[in-house]
Amino acid sequence: MTTFPYDLAARVLREAIEASEAPSSVTILDAGGNLVAFARMDGAPLASIEISRGKAFTAAAMGMPSGDLLGAVQPGAPYYGFQTTHGGLPVVFAGGLPIRRDGQLIGAVGVAGGSTDQDTAAATAGVAAAERTAG
C-alpha cells in the first residue's frame, strides 16, 4: 500500500479549509481508513466531525466519490445497505473524494459542514493540492 505522508495530508487539509465556504470539519484518511489529519473549523456543526470521517472512509474504501454511491444504496440497488456496514461509518453524501498518487489510491478527504456542493468544492481543492505535489 502506498503511504500518505503527513506533510501531504497537511497541505490537503489546509487547501480544503481555505476553500470551504462554511464552517466545516475536514478529515484525511489513508487508503486503509486510518486517520492522518483532521481539523474542525470554529462554528462547524458537531455532527460534521463524524460525517466528514464517514465521507472520507467511503471514498477511500470504494475508491470513488462518496456521493456517487447515493443511488447505489437505495432499496433494490446493488449496494443497498452499504451505509450500515462498518458500524454505520460509510456516508454516501457528496463531499468525500479519493486521493491518488502515481495512479495508486493513497487515501481520501472528507468535508462536512456546508451544503454538499460546498463540501465537494472544498474537498476538490484538497485533492488539487495533492495533485500539485510531486510524488
**pLDDT tens profile 26-55:** 999 999 999 999 999 999 999 999 999 999
Say if 109 falls within a structural domain.
yes
Gap between the Cα atoms of 25 and 128, Å rounded: 18
Q: Which domain holds residue 27?
A: 6-132
Name residue, grid cell 447505489: 72
Predicted confidence (pLDDT) per residue in 97-133, tens digit: 999 998 899 999 999 999 999 999 999 999 999 998 8
Say if 99 falls within a structural domain.
yes
Total domain count, the chain? 1
Say if 1 falls within a structural domain.
no
Here the CATH number for the domain that contains residue 47 is 3.30.450.150
DSSP secondary structure, 66-102, as one string: GGGGTGGGSTTSTTTTGGGSGGG----SS-EEEEEET
* Contact by Cβ (8 Å): 79, 69: yes
Assessment of whether the complete model's pTM goes beyond 0.85: yes
